[in-house]
Each structure stands twice: as C-alpha cells, then as structure tokens.
C-alpha cells in the first residue's frame, strides 16, 4: 500500500505524530517537498523529537527514510539532525537515503529570503530558511543540486556563476556585502563529505521497493493552503504541498498511489501572514494558543488560532483526493462550553460553501458557524472510540458528516499511544 499523508490546513496539523504511527506498518517513509521550514514533532517514551528534514518514521527501527528530489536540503540542518539522532543512539546507517537530485540551500538563499521579506510591502512571514529563493533558483535553472556537490569542478563552476549574479543583486539591490566563493566552497565540500554515504538515486530505490511490494508512506510537509498553486497565494510556501507533489517530488508515478490520508486539527492555526476567516478574537486566541501549545516547531513563533474551518478542509479533501482523515488535538477542546465549526462563508449577503480563491474575497468573508455543546471530561487517556464523551462523539460525527469523509484515526495527545483508531 502506497499512502500519501498531507496537511489539510495551513501546516502544523500534527503530521509528524500521524506519520510516526503509520510508519509502524510502512517499509519506506519519504519526504517529497519543502525543506527545513517544516517542523514535525514526534513524542515517544516521554521524549520529544522535532524533524525538519529527516522523515518522521526514522524512530522506527529498520525503516528506510528517504529525502526525495522535491525537497530543498540545507546540509547544515540535515547534518545536525543526523548528529542529534546518533547521540540519541538511533542508528540511521543504511536507513537514511538522500536524493542526488534534491536542490541545496546556500547561504545566499537564506539572506535573500530575509532581505526580500524586509523590502516587501505585504510580508509573507516566511521561516527565513531560504526556501523561496532556493525553489526560485530551481525553476530558473540555476540551482545547485546534491549531485553537483559530489563533483568539485561542477560545484565550483555553478557556485561561481551563482555568486557573480547573487553578489551583484545583494550589493546593488539590498546593500549587503555579498559572499566569498572560497568560504562557501570549502564549507559545502565538507558537507558533501559527511552526506555522501547517504546520497543515492532515490527514484530508483523507491520504484524498486514498490515493485517488490513494499509499503511506502509519503510524508507531506506544510499544508494544502500553503501549496504554491492552491494555497492562499502569495501567503504560501514555494512548493507543491498537495498530494500531487508526492509524485513529482519522488519520481513515483501517480498510478502507483493507493491512498491519500489528510491530517486535520480540530481547530485551525496559521503561522505568518495572510487571510484567516475563522481566526479567534485576541483573548480567546491567547487562551487556546497556550492550551494547545501553539508555538512554531521551527521558529518558535506564536501560531494564530481559529475554529475548525470545514470549507477549507472540504476543499483540501477534493484537491488531494483524501479518502481518510486523521483528526488531531481533540483533547485541546476539553472543557469548552461550546465548540464552533465553520460550515460556510457569507460574502455580500450570499452564502458560499466552496473555498473562494480570490484573496480580496477571502479577507472579507464572514464565517457561518454551527455551534455544538462541548464536554468537561479529560479525554487524553481514552483509547477506545466508544469511551469518548457523548458530545465528543457528536462533534466527530458532525465533522464526518460535513466533510463527507471517513475519520480513521483520532489523536488525543502528543504521544504515540494517545491515539484512538476509529
């Protein structure tokens, strides 16, 4: 079974936890897009691990974890993750595979990310990890790939070419002093040395595994509404975070995909700027942010919080072909008197059940809520659906009805075992 896992909102839905759980039954776990803008949290045995580049299945012994060609790799971040895992006695030898076709993030990408953001009138609120500039170079055909790093001559020429252009832009447009060739060249050749045992043709590896009936889990990063095409552009990331990205970002044909699972949090969060119809008013936002510990796993920034937006999640189900949902953070709703779910938007007196793509409209729509009673029980220790409070079950069946999707898994805490299989 080859399954794609995607976020249905604006990221941070709890994908890391769900992927860790589903990894138990998979043989390969593969990241296909994004970079170290992602922060995927897995909690096992009371210990929290946050992965930025390494797939969230790595804690399962014997599983092969691949970083696909669609990912943009910051070698320094990746090497730190490898070191952190080995100091936690997690053996990744022969288990971590990095695509030779993945593009690498260079120091000028990170600086350009920051400087462009400062100059922009409508700020995106990027993670400053160099993601946008690196993908821009990839599409402009001047990017540097991991395969280039392995050949000193090729790397030298490509880096020189890039620095000639980037330094001029940095100096003339942004008043930055630019970068020295020698420093980057030396630093990155060192990275290549450390990473070389892991680098391979991952498209071949994964396709051979599929031919051998292995189970592949494709780990999405970010979320549907951060997707470069279908997200709330321009307040998005620079990659295809929807299910289609899994094929492009790994070299696996769409006909080999069996299932898409969407991860949805019982309320909505967003980091960075952009429209957010269901956003809570400030006092309640602060209360829920603290209750749900909604602070960025990558940047530590406070996440903006709002009610569950079924208009968005319905759209995500359509765009990704989601047949099953994993619902996360149900425990965070404990103790609320009432819970709201946005079922439609109102704009200029009219009701809209479809997600509007015009940003102007999305900024002005008024959410139409269905409000239901909450529960006062603590549900974190519950492991069977039938033991959930009546109102929690009513809430979940309301979500299932509005979304017209099967809820296959319910998460009631950050740890692996805080999970109910529905």
Tell me which of 5, 12, 112, 333 binds ligand IMO, using CB under 6 A. 12
Candidates 4-12, 23-31, 86-94, 139-147; binding stretch for ligand GDP (CB under 6 A) = 4-12
| Active-site position among 40, 52, 103, 109 | 40
Burial readout 272-296 (b: 16 or more C-beta within 10 A, e: otherwise): bbbbbbbbbeeeebeebbebbebeb
Let me know: does 65 contact 55? Beta carbons within 8 Å. Answer: yes
x/- track of binding to ligand IMO for residues 236-275 (CB under 6 A) = -xx--------------------------------xx---
- Residue 14 interacting entry, from Mg ion, ligand IMO, ligand GDP, none, C-beta within 5 to 8 Å by type: ligand GDP
16 vs 133 by CB, closer to ligand GDP: 16
d(CA 238, CA 270): 16
Tell me which of 206, 399, 412, 420 binds ligand GDP, using CB under 6 A. 412
d(CA 218, CA 7): 12
- 95 near ligand GDP (CB under 6 A): no
Q: How far is CA 225 from CA 245, 331, 355, in A?
A: 14, 24, 11
Least distance between ligand GDP and beta carbon 357 (Å) = 24
Least distance between ligand GDP and beta carbon 64 (Å) = 20
298 vs 391 by CB, closer to ligand IMO: 298
Least distance between ligand GDP and beta carbon 329 (Å) = 4
d(CA 240, CA 222): 9
Helices (H) and strands (E) in the chain, counts: 13, 20
In 3D space, the residue among 45, 53, 23, 31 whose CA is nearest the CA of residue 298 turns out to be 53
Q: 67: part of which helix (H) or strand (E)?
A: strand 64-67
Strands (E), 246-386: 259-265, 268-270, 304-306, 308-309, 324-328, 338-347, 350-352, 366-373
3 vs 224 by CB, closer to ligand IMO: 224
Residue 301 is classified by DSSP as: P
d(CA 337, CA 193): 57
Least distance between ligand IMO and beta carbon 52 (Å) = 8
In the beta sheet, which residues pair with residue 281? none
Which string of DSSP letters, residue by residue, matches 334-348? Answer: TT-SEEEEEEEEEET
Least distance between ligand IMO and beta carbon 10 (Å) = 6
Let me know: does 188 contact 104? Beta carbons within 8 Å. Answer: yes
d(CA 157, CA 343): 55
Candidates 7-15, 186-194, 207-215, 398-406; binding stretch for Mg ion (CB under 5 A) = 7-15
- 297 near ligand GDP (CB under 6 A): yes
- 37 near ligand IMO (CB under 6 A): yes
260 vs 343 by CB, closer to ligand IMO: 260
x/- track of binding to ligand IMO for residues 285-324 (CB under 6 A) = ------------x---------------------------
Let me know: does 266 contact 327? Beta carbons within 8 Å. Answer: yes
Tell me which of 39, 130, 223, 306 binds Mg ion, using CB under 5 A. 39
Residue 240 is classified by DSSP as: -
Least distance between Mg ion and beta carbon 347 (Å) = 31
- 69 near ligand IMO (CB under 6 A): no
Q: Which of residues 290-319 bind Mg ion (CB under 5 A)?
A: 297
Q: How far is CA 319 from CA 6, 7, 75, 242, 360, in A?
A: 11, 12, 32, 7, 22
- 42 near Mg ion (CB under 5 A): no
Is it true that the peptide bond before 232 is cis, omega within 30 degrees of 0?
Answer: no
| Active-site position among 12, 148, 227, 331 | 12
132 vs 220 by CB, closer to ligand GDP: 220
Q: 176 an active-site residue? A: no
Strands (E), 271-337: 304-306, 308-309, 324-328
Least distance between ligand GDP and beta carbon 45 (Å) = 14
Least distance between Mg ion and beta carbon 378 (Å) = 25
Q: 229 an active-site residue? A: no
Strands (E), 236-360: 259-265, 268-270, 304-306, 308-309, 324-328, 338-347, 350-352
Give me the active site residues, please: 12, 40
Interface with ligand IMO by CB under 6 A: which residues? 7, 10-12, 37-40, 124-127, 129, 131-132, 221-223, 226, 237-238, 271-272, 297
Residues found near ligand GDP in the complex (CB under 6 A):
7, 11-17, 39-41, 43, 293, 297, 328-329, 331-332, 411-414
**Applying CB under 5 A, which residues contact Mg ion?**
12, 39, 297
């Amino acid at each position: 079974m080859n399954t794609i896992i995607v976020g249905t909102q604006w990221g941070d839905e709890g994908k890391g936890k769900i992927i860790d759980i589903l990894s138990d039954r998979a043989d390969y776990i593969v990241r296909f897009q994004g970079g170290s803008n992602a922060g995927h949290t897995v909690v096992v045995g009371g210990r929290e691990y946050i992965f930025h580049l390494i797939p969230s299945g790595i804690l399962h012994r014997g599983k092969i974890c691949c970083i696909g060609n669609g990912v943009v790799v910051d070698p320094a971040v990746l090497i730190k993750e490898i070191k952190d895992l080995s100091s936690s006695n997690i053996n990744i030898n022969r288990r971590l595979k990095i695509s030779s076709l993945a593009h690498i993030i260079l120091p000028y990408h990170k600086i350009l990310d920051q400087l462009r953001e400062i100059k922009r009138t409508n700020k995106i609120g990027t993670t400053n990890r160099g993601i946008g500039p690196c993908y821009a170079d990839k599409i402009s055909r001047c990017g540097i790939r991991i395969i280039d790093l392995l050949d000193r001559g090729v790397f030298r020429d490509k880096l020189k070419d890039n620095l000639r252009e980037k330094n001029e832009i940095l100096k003339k447009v942004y008043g930055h002093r630019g970068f020295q060739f020698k420093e980057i060249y030396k630093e990155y050749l060192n990275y290549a040395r450390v990473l070389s045992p892991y680098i391979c043709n991952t498209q071949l590896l994964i396709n051979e595994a599929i031919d051998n009936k292995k189970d592949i889990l494709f780990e999405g990063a970010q979320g549907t509404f951060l997707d470069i095409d279908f997200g709330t552009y321009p307040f998005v990331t620079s990659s295809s975070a929807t299910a289609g990205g899994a094929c492009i970002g790994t070299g696996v044909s769409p006909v080999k995909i069996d299932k898409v699972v969407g991860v949805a949090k019982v309320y909505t969060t967003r980091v960075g700027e952009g429209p957010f119809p269901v956003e809570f008013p400030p006092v309640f936002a602060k209360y829920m942010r603290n209750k749900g510990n909604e602070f960025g796993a990558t940047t530590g920034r406070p996440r903006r919080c709002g009610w569950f937006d079924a208009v968005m999640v319905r759209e995500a189900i359509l765009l990704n072909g989601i047949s099953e949902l994993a619902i996360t953070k149900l425990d965070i709703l404990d103790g609320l008197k009432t819970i709201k779910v946005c079922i439609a938007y109102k704009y200029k007196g009219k009701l809209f059940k479809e997600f509007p793509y015009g940003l102007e409209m999305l900024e002005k729509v008024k959410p139409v809520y269905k409000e239901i009673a909450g529960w006062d029980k603590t549900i974190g220790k519950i492991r069977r659906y039938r033991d959930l409070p009546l109102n929690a079950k009513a809430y979940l069946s309301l979500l299932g009805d509005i979304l017209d999707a099967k809820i296959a898994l319910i998460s009631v805490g950050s740890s692996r075992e805080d999970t109910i299989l529905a």
